[in-house]
Structure 1
């Protein structure tokens, strides 16, 4: 049994002013950081879904050893990127995948390991932050990939599927090891 990693990095980052995959923090691009987190958590294979600025990301980022997929429909929202990533994993032996969004630099390998600890084909697991909020990373067992793909439209991603199957979703506390706040705007200088 293997647990894959899936980085959604296709957005243009309109509110941010540039594709967030190309944002440099602590000496590395956010797309490289996401890949490193999944590697540290021993996810394999790792798929990165690109869209806006795909050529520039390929030229500037170290994506050695990952499966880089271009999502030609990236402008339609995160749902198309999730579908593209799951399709790229279809021919692998992965029993589950951990999904990361490229614009969440506070998500750690420790959080990925917690969410993936009970990975299996039938599992749905999300990171929990505080008493009421579930967030990233998210583990999708392979048995759910087709259903997730059907409901992943626009900017919804897996949310609609997880809500429709909430009784099967396990929440794993991660607030002590991660922060899943996203980068929406450039911080003030």
Structure 2
């Protein structure tokens, strides 16, 4: 699996004249973290199986089923096993060697990878949100595309902001300055950009941080 998109990959194609006005969104699927709340013997939540499929593979398939121009999987902790779990999927891989410093390093790795691409926004998707569907991602992408592209779009549940979130490229330099175990929340709050919330229900808030949460969502922790 190469970091360079193939010529026939959507992210490797040049825009045609009729496509040039359509904002392009790439998905950054974050799968680099240690999942410390799983405990020392809690297993890796992204390798937990749901209906016989590792969670990270399931979420990668959801991302690939969307209208995104590309799907980039950011790996770190147990990288080899994560990459093995998604073998055969049309993903681009980015390794985050600084994953021990927290989530910000994964955002930096992903956004850095996209900097020279014809991409207008990055949809930041956590790989431990089993309620997400491709249709949810398409709702977010469509809202971004219809809202003039220089905006922030985030999923919500009954008005409560959640994930995923689409960040426009105008925020890239701010994202690249992030450090520590934080996401883009502060950037979103401080940005002088319109923020559009898209209601997708409980899927926007459901992530799996503990062994109990994995089991409660129907997962089987393998190792």
**Deviations 1:34-66, CA, capped at 9 Å, x for gaps:** 221112212121111000000121223225321
Does structure 1 conserve the Cα–Cα contact (< 8 Å) formed by 2:152 and 2:193?
Answer: no
2:99 maps to which of 71, 74, 84: 74
Unaligned runs of 5+ in 1: none
TM-score of the superposed pair, with normalisation by structure 2: 0.76
Deviation (angstroms), 1:78: 0.5
Unaligned runs of 5+ in 2: 1-22, 217-223
2:39 equivalent to 1:12: no
1:141 maps to which of 168, 173, 179: 168
| Equivalence for 2:19 | none
TM-score of the superposed pair, with normalisation by structure 1: 0.89
Q: Which has the larger radius of gyration?
A: 2
| Equivalence for 1:174 | 200
1:126 maps to which of 131, 146, 154: 154
Cα pair distance change 1:30/1:124, threshold 3 Å: same
Does structure 1 conserve the Cα–Cα contact (< 8 Å) formed by 2:156 and 2:204?
Answer: no
Cα pair distance change 1:50/1:80, threshold 3 Å: same
Alignment of 1:150-169 (within 5 A): 150=177, 152-165=178-191, 168-169=194-195
Aligned-partner SS, 1:5: strand
Moved more, 100-109 or 115-124: 115-124
**CA-atom RMSD in angstroms:** 1.9
- Cα distance between partner residues in 2 of 1:146 and 1:28: 37
- Cα distance between partner residues in 2 of 1:135 and 1:11: 19
